[in-house]
Amino acid sequence: MKRNFTGFLLEWKNSENRKPLIVRGARQVGKTYVIEDFARNHYTNFMKINFEETPEIKTLFNTNDVADIIQTLELSYRVSLSGDDSLLFLDEIQMCPEAITTLRYFHEKIPHLHVIAAGSLLDHLLNKLPYSMPVGRVEFAYLYPMSFPEFLVALGHAALADFITSYTFPKPVNAVLHQKLLKLVRLYYFIGGMPEAVSVYAQKENLQEVEKVHESIIKTLEFDLAKYGTRKQQELLVKTLRYIPKGGGQKLKYVKIDPAERSDSLKEALRLLVMSRIVHLIKSSSATNPPLEYGVNEKMIKPLFLDIGLANHLLRLRLLDLDQLITANEGGLAEQFTGQQLLTFPPFYTDKQLYYWSREKRNSEAEVDYLLEVNSTIVPVEVKSGKSGTLKSLHVYMKEKKRKTAIRINAALPSETQIETSVFVEKQLKNVEYRLISLPFYLLNEKVISGPISE
């Protein structure tokens, strides 16, 4: 399946300043597949070492003599790595921490050799690496579940994917095409972006087969969590994992996960899920100007699950008739879809952070779903599951922060509206004016988002 990440890998391959690359991402987001596919199409010589399948290879990395390591590997696998067009792929590298340290010596001693490492649960290892981390000698890249355009290509709708990625606001969208794309967005809601689930549906167009894949992935994730702590801690990890989809789009309150458990224990469970990249935290920021990180309130977070399809599976939604399936959490699904797409925006070499805005004052609470940094300015993004909905919180934000442009993601055709209204701010009724760009869910991509923003 075609992934946009391949383009990043090609840029890395051709870079004069190339360093060994560590690809990070949750289990089963497609790291191994995309690297192997890239290697087959762009290298003359390719060697893959899987430390999970061949644990005996780990002893080679007890030394930092990379010349000896390469010679032994070449003789063992009968593949030459001496040319300038050779790639060594170290898969499941979390099983061999010594190999991470050795990456710096590949860079220093054999700079012509292209080296990529990948693995699941890497963040846990990197956080407590018992060896010297090769800072400045390696690069990182991040892979997430498939984006909506990638999903379209996998299902045979490459022309539709080209249409939405090349769209320029405010070009009109035909109503028939609009409805077609909204139906496909709905399909993405329940299949999600995990490559195996998408592949199974592309081959069989059977939603029950997708359910089986989802169940298998969830069990695999839970099996991983069984490696951490005591039995009680493992139970809390699973309980937290299964709660997150229920709280989609809501500020996290630990008491809702389990009122009988101490918040410190639940915080630790959440931290491990974040490090496993199963959960991504959306932080509240009060920043008026970039960077958003400067205004973060660490106590106000919203959790975003790894994948919308897996989230719906955990909510026990049966995928029998999507046209008739209306859930109790439509707003949460719309926010999950939006956040999941935002994480897939380039560049792939940054570990992305998502933000939202929240004001918690008695009788005047307000919240905006996402805040983006676009063209050196902060842009609020409000998400609505249908074609309409109140914008009271957005009005408050635009007045308080003196912003000029906002984005609404919903199910309506693309449009631009000049908002002129009044809103209570600090107990006073004040006028507010701003430009509102409305975009349908399927046009949620970096090029479309950044195009009309020129503040």
Q: Does 415 score more than 90 pLDDT?
A: yes
Q: Does 135 score more than 60 pLDDT?
A: yes
Write the single-letter amino acid at 338. Answer: T
- Per residue in 6-42, pLDDT (tens digit) is 999 999 999 999 999 999 999 999 999 999 999 999 9
Tokens representing 72?
């032994």
Q: How many structural domains is the chain composed of? A: 2
Predicted structure pTM score = 0.94
- Separation between Cα atoms, residue 118 and residue 23, nearest integer Å: 5
Last residue in a domain, options 142, 171, 193: 142
Tokens representing 197?
């689930």
* Residue 243 placed within a domain: yes
Determine the pLDDT at residue 389: 74
- Answer yes or no: do 70 and 182 share one domain: no
Tokens representing 122?
């890497």
∠ CA(165), CA(168), CA(173), 5° rounding? 85
Question: pLDDT class for 227, splitting at 50, 70, 90?
Answer: confident
- Separation between Cα atoms, residue 219 and residue 110, nearest integer Å: 40
Tokens representing 211?
């359910």
Burial zone of 290 (CB within 10 Å; 0-12 exposed, 13-18 middle, 19+ buried): middle
Determine the pLDDT at residue 332: 85
Across the chain, mean pLDDT equals 91
**Closest to 197 in 3D by CA, of 313, 83, 94:** 313
Are the C-beta atoms of residues 392 and 420 closer than 8 Å to each other?
A: no
Q: In which order are the strands placed within the sheet that holds 377-383? A: 296-305, 279-285, 354-359, 366-374, 377-383, 405-410, 428-440, 415-425
Length of the chain (residues): 455
- Answer yes or no: do 321 and 232 share one domain: yes
Determine the pLDDT at residue 318: 65
Q: Does 450 score more than 90 pLDDT?
A: no
- Per residue in 53-111, pLDDT (tens digit) is 999 999 999 988 999 999 999 999 999 998 889 999 999 999 999 999 899 999 999 99
Mean pLDDT on 336-365: 91
Last residue in a domain, options 108, 124, 142: 142
Determine the pLDDT at residue 432: 95
**Is the bond preceding residue 291 a cis peptide, omega within 30 degrees?**
yes
- Answer yes or no: do 293 and 401 share one domain: yes
Tokens representing 91?
């898969």
Determine the pLDDT at residue 88: 98
Q: Does 455 score more than 80 pLDDT?
A: no
Question: pLDDT class for 228, splitting at 50, 70, 90?
Answer: confident
Mean pLDDT on 387-392: 81
Determine the pLDDT at residue 83: 81
* Residue 280 placed within a domain: yes
Q: Which of 9-13, 143-147, 267-271 has the lowest mean pLDDT?
A: 267-271
Residue bearing the bigger pLDDT, 121 or 210: 210
Determine the pLDDT at residue 132: 60
* Residue 147 placed within a domain: no
- Answer yes or no: do 134 and 173 share one domain: no
Determine the pLDDT at residue 224: 87
Contacts of 271 (CB under 8 A, 6+ apart): none
* Dihedral angle over CA of 56, 61, 65, 71, nearest 10: 30
- Answer yes or no: do 81 and 197 share one domain: no
Q: Does 270 score more than 90 pLDDT?
A: yes
Determine the pLDDT at residue 82: 87
Q: Does 320 score more than 80 pLDDT?
A: no
- Answer yes or no: do 211 and 311 share one domain: yes
* Residue 89 placed within a domain: yes
- Separation between Cα atoms, residue 56 and residue 453, nearest integer Å: 54
CA 434 distance to own-chain centroid: 30
Determine the pLDDT at residue 451: 82
- Kind and range of the H or E run holding 159: helix 158-166
Calculate the alpha carbon distances from 269 to 28, 319, 454 in Å: 21, 30, 41
Domain enclosing residue 272, as ranges: 152-450
Last residue in a domain, options 110, 142, 174: 142
Determine the pLDDT at residue 372: 96
Determine the pLDDT at residue 294: 93
- Separation between Cα atoms, residue 41 and residue 49, nearest integer Å: 18
Tokens representing 205?
């167009």
Determine the pLDDT at residue 257: 93
Q: Give me the helices (H) in 43-94, please.
A: 66-77
